[in-house]
Amino acid sequence: IKESELLSGPLESTNEAYAIAKICGLIQAKYLRLEHGIDVRSVMPTNLYGPGDNFDLNTSHVVPALLSKFRTAILEQSSNVTIWGSGSPRREFLHVKDFAEACIELVDQPESTFWGSLPENVFHMNVGSGQDIAISELAELIKEITGFEGSLHFDTEKPDGTPKKLLDVSILRSLGWKPRIHLREGLKDTYEYLCARS
């Protein structure tokens, strides 16, 4: 997904309210720049995860939800973990520490460099890892990291959502930034945080 493709098609129904809230902020920042000349820099992050995340199974996103499920299964000595959907959708993830560093990097860019890197009529920059992974592969990776020895059950009665979400981060990369925390390392770090809390 390129920055220029924002609002070029319908929003995914299971994510519509959340998406509209983020888009409203981006549009407000756009008009602060266009109408008032204020150097407001907006970013569009991919799926973030890390220490301090929301691990509540009713309201969390995919990484903290899976980490919570595997932690609970280990504590309760369950023989399986149920995962929503088929496992085939692909998602991109970025550790929150990498995201923070990217934001600092973008704030520190000279105004001409930041705005000069964006195409005409684009007022935000994608921030992501540039790599995606199938939910089934993510679940297997988390299983390995947590040491869970049971089986995985994919509940295909639950929605998959969008088949693929991957940001085009070529503009960000052209400014010299790339993430430092590999997914495995970041998941391990986040799981250790969760274990220390429970």
**Helical segments of the chain, H only:** 16-36, 62-75, 96-108, 111-117, 135-146, 170-174, 183-197
Tally of residues, the chain: 198
Give the Å distances, CA to CA, from 82 to 21, 67, 107, 185, 195: 30, 12, 41, 24, 20
- The token pair at 198 is 């429970």
Residue matched to tokens 């920042």: 29
**Is 18 a catalytic site residue?**
yes
| Catalytically annotated residue among 18, 49, 191, 193 | 18
Give the Å distances, CA to CA, from 89 to 68, 75, 109, 139, 165: 20, 28, 35, 12, 8
Amino acid in position 160: D
Q: Which residues form the catalytic set?
A: 18
